[in-house]
Structure 1
């Protein structure tokens, strides 16, 4: 999974319902580029470089996994979708035009980029009060990587003295509509290779959640189990039982003042689902008693999410991630695990359960697919 880069984008326009166009641009940038960390106030400003109606302008900070070229191509597509028609000669003639929407990439991390298609930082941002003012509102201490001056200092030093009127109406972050924070504890579950750890990481980053990840990589019995299941099933399940209990006891019990909720890539009941498949009847009955005693007092998830993935895709994902000890997992074994989860879900209150079919989704590579999963999780 690619690392996140913080970028800044300037939005502006002076045709049609300008404020609505800005909000539509914000919505599409959230869906296609990344999650929004900050939105500046909107400013009414005179046209710059030509005679025309007043503009509305704002600046966003977004966290994205897209490359700078991918951001540029996405931005151009959004502009076109919202009615922007670019004259192919306007840059060459150095003239400016009225437009329903204009989106400029101001900063891409701390990178300095100069290609035929893209210049970052934006080469004229220090000359434009309508950019510097909203940028100062959300990132006054940001240092320009070429000038080595803060945005606040660039605003004080700019020769552009045009008047900018701050509006009372504010642009809305679309991510605020997905109210995952109402849940104190979310468990993401799924079969082997379904992507529950990846999804948990993505949600924790975007929604400021405390992340609880299963420590399966540290289990010494796991590779041995896949080589000889009958011999190592019981020690494997017992070690998972103890480790999951200790981890949940520690992580759930430690309240984090700086996080809004908790999200885990497993639920305590996972131990019983796998143990019922791998253990004999007598061993499982003993295991079930121990599980009940240990987990009785632990906090339960307020939202339980099961990622359903078809067996073919699961096997592809397992092969792709390349863990040697997993390569012998059979489709039949995955089918039994899936059935175990579905039987467990039938016993739960359905108002706090979401079964999401991700067989045709790729929430790692596609931001829009990820938003679809979040939307499903947020349904009442």
Structure 2
């Protein structure tokens, strides 16, 4: 299938950035990576979620919009292949989990103003890992501010993604279960995923693939 804008998504620790970089390297694609390491609210959020959830989500909303809007002209004018490790809708998915009702209702108003102005992907890939395996990856990569993340939080985010994906029919969604493969450490596993993404046609809505060892 023809892909000009590919999104690689997933929960925290799913390997979405690693896969994005591998694909970009193989295909010479332009890359959009989410900037989160410099966000001053993120470490504070993991320590005091109730206090810092709203400023964190608003800052991510602004950062994601600014990054995508800077590249809209290129999306529209050129046929270059883009690959990103996030989709703008993740802003809403996380906000549903972290914000109280009043905060979420206000947040949702800002989100809707922005969302329709941004490009939609030609293919949206969701990497599914169990919360237990996500937590192993989070512990392994050793970011200090992430070490307080709990299984319950990862499960809530997962449920938010699944709820969003079930309602989305505007573009093809490829849900890949990667619980039994290691596409970062095993080249053959990576090639399997790459082949599934680029060598098959995917209908709008969810297309599910389970990879075995």
| 1:358 aligns to 2:178 (yes or no) | yes
Name 1:369's counterpart in structure 2: 189
Give 2:91's match in structure 1, choosing from 261, 271, 274: 271
Separation of aligned partners in 1, 2:38 and 2:180: 31
Deviation at 1:254, TM superposition (A): 3.1
State the Cα distance separating 1:250 from its structure 2 match.
Answer: 0.9
Task: State the shift of 1:310 in Å.
Answer: 1.1
Compute the displacement of 1:348 (Å).
Answer: 1.4
TM-score of the two chains, using structure 1 as the length reference: 0.51
Where 2:88 maps in the other structure, the secondary structure is coil
- Cα shift readout 1:142-168 (whole Å, capped 9, x = no counterpart): xxxxxxxxxxxxxxxxxxxxxxxxxxx
Q: Aligned equivalents of 2:78 and 2:114: distance in 1?
A: 29
Please name the residue that 1:193 is paired with: 13
In 1, Cα distance between equivalents of 2:129 and 2:42: 22
Q: How far apart, in 2, do the equivalents of 1:351 and 1:289 lie?
A: 23
Cα distance, 1:282–1:351 mapped onto 2, change above 3 Å = closer
* SS, match of residue 20 in structure 2: helix
Q: Which consecutive unaligned segments of at least 5 residues does structure 1 have?
A: 1-178
Taking structure 2 as the reference length, the TM-score comes to: 0.89
Q: Is residue 235 of structure 1 aligned with residue 42 of structure 2?
A: no
SS at 2:65 equivalent: helix
Task: Looking at secondary structure, tell me which structure has more helix per residue.
Answer: 2
Could you say which residue in structure 1 is the equivalent of 2:143?
Answer: 323
Structure 1: distance between partners of 2:189 and 2:130: 17
Pair 1:292-2:112 in alignment = yes
Q: State the distance in 1 between where 2:191 and 2:168 align.
A: 26
Distance of 2:113 and 2:68 partners within structure 1: 15
**What whole-Å deviation, never above 9, does each CA across 1:63-122 have from its counterpart, x for those lacking one?**
xxxxxxxxxxxxxxxxxxxxxxxxxxxxxxxxxxxxxxxxxxxxxxxxxxxxxxxxxxxx
User: Does residue 254 of structure 1 match 2:74?
Assistant: yes
Extract unaligned runs of 5+ from structure 2: 202-213
Q: Does 1:220 align with 2:40?
A: yes
Instruction: Kindly state the Cα deviation for residue 251 of structure 1 after the two structures are TM-superposed.
Output: 2.4
Offset, 1:317 = 0.5
Specify the structure having the higher radius of gyration (Cα).
1
Aligned residue runs from structure 1 range 4-83, under 5 A: none
- Alpha-carbon distance, 1:295 to partner: 2.2
Q: 1:316 to 1:275 in 2, by over 3 A?
A: same
| Secondary structure, aligned partner of 2:37 | helix
User: Residue 211 of structure 1 aligns to a residue in which SS?
Assistant: strand
C-alpha contact (below 8 Å) 2:128/2:178 kept by paired residues: yes
Q: Deviation at 1:255?
A: 5.3
| 1:349-373 residue CA offsets vs partner (Å, 9 max, x unmatched) | 2861100001111111111100111
Equivalent residue, structure 2, for 1:113: none
Structure 2 matches for 1:128-139, cutoff 5 A? Answer: none
Deviation, structure 1 residue 306: 0.5
Matches of 1:256 and 1:341 in 2, distance apart?
Answer: 27
